[in-house]
Amino acid sequence: MAKVLLLDNVAREAAEVLERAGHTVEVRSGRLSPEELCRRLDGCAALVVRSATKVTAEVLAGARTLSVVGRAGVGVDNIDVEAASRLGVLVVNAPEGNTIAAAEHTLALMLALARHIPQAVSTLRAGRWERQAFLGVELAGKTLGILGLGRVGSAVAVRARALEMHVLAYDPYVAVEEARKRGVELTSFEQVIKSADFLSIHLPLTRETRGLISEEVIAAMKPGVRIINAARGEIIDEAALARALESGHVAGAALDVLAEEPCTTSPLLGFDNVIVTPHLGASTREAQVQVAVEVAEQIVTALAGHRPRHALNWDEVRGQKAARAI
């Protein structure tokens, strides 16, 4: 059977699934340098990571026995999928297991932002009782704009509707009728941007979405908008956001992600009206177990020669293997 390398503190349940299928599992904690990662991959047929490890084209080229890379989570921007496809390495992810965790964290950020909860806790612990400094706003009756109505965006929309918010969304890949079933009004990007009292970002990081929330886009937003980002930090131009916070055009931001991670020096951390958490969207016990099991099951399927449910480059890899066989 095959050898599988597990990194980034993927939950132990992944190893249990793989071992029950007869595979040998090596678990490594801590960050590995690219050179150490290549050494550890020698003889491995599969690699499982979260978001910390960067699976670059160079790493993939040096891992000659590797046939599948699994991401215990949704986003695969830390994996060079194009290079993997060229080299005949299958890439799978686990997009379902952390949906509820990410959606709940988004709502937690939104509520904390609306009611200044972290700031109020901080001043009270510092010995100051400052009720008047923390006048908040209600979510009921406000317009929530959602960019990206996939699994997480949809889960956020359902919960926001329960809080009596009006929900607008932009997603070119979702049908109007599907959005309507979730109580969401599907509209244009421009309409969402200019109408939202709260704007929540749930887009993947791609060439098109990198820097999408630019100075021009922020300027088109409603004055006093509050921005929540639990997707990818690079989607927002952080310098432009800082300027909008300084001017008051953006009333506040709640961010679970930053353009560079880990990071404790971002200028955004200096704003009293900004809440930042260290990429906790999927950090619940339930979610970590679910994505670990989900990705491990797909690794087992792939190593058996079958198509996993969430194979991102199955056709490309099959095409490469067919070409090499000619």
Task: State whether 160 and 248 are in the same domain.
Answer: yes
**Confidence (pLDDT) at 73:** 93
Query: Tens digit of pLDDT for each residue in 138-154?
Result: 999 999 999 999 999 99
From residue 4, alpha-carbon distances to 22, 211, 238, 302 in Å are 11, 36, 38, 12
Angle (CA) 179-185-191 rounded to 5° is: 130
Question: Which CATH number goes with the domain that contains 8?
Answer: 3.40.50.720
Task: State whether 268 and 142 are in the same domain.
Answer: yes
As a whole number, the mean pLDDT across the chain is 95
Q: How many domains in the chain?
A: 2
Task: State whether 87 and 105 are in the same domain.
Answer: no
Q: How far apart are CA 156 and CA 310, in angstroms?
A: 22
Task: State whether 142 and 242 are in the same domain.
Answer: yes
Query: Tens digit of pLDDT for each residue in 301-311?
Result: 999 999 999 99
Length of the chain: 326
Contact 213, 237 (CB under 8 A): yes
Task: State whether 29 and 152 are in the same domain.
Answer: no
**Confidence (pLDDT) at 62:** 94
Stated pTM of the model: 0.89
From residue 229, alpha-carbon distances to 154, 156, 167 in Å are 15, 12, 16
Task: State whether 53 and 31 are in the same domain.
Answer: yes
- Residue 34 class from Cβ within 10 Å (0-12 exposed, 13-18 middle, 19+ buried)? middle
Query: Tens digit of pLDDT for each residue in 160-198?
Result: 999 999 999 999 999 999 999 989 999 999 999 999 999
Task: State whether 155 and 268 are in the same domain.
Answer: yes
Task: State whether 267 and 126 are in the same domain.
Answer: yes
Confidence tier at 325 by pLDDT (50, 70, 90):
low
Long-range Cβ contacts of 55-64 (<8 Å, 24+ apart): 55/79, 55/80, 55/84, 56/80, 56/83, 57/83, 58/34, 59/34, 60/84, 60/87, 60/89, 61/87, 62/38, 63/38, 63/89
226: closest CA among 181, 184, 185, 165? 165
Catalytic residues: 232, 261, 279
Contact 240, 246 (CB under 8 A): no
Q: Give the range of the structural domain holding residue 272, as residue numbers without chain letter.
A: 99-276
Q: Omega into 34 within 30° of 0, i.e. cis? A: no
Contact 62, 41 (CB under 8 A): yes
| Token pair recorded at residue 115 | 């009611």
**Confidence (pLDDT) at 8:** 95
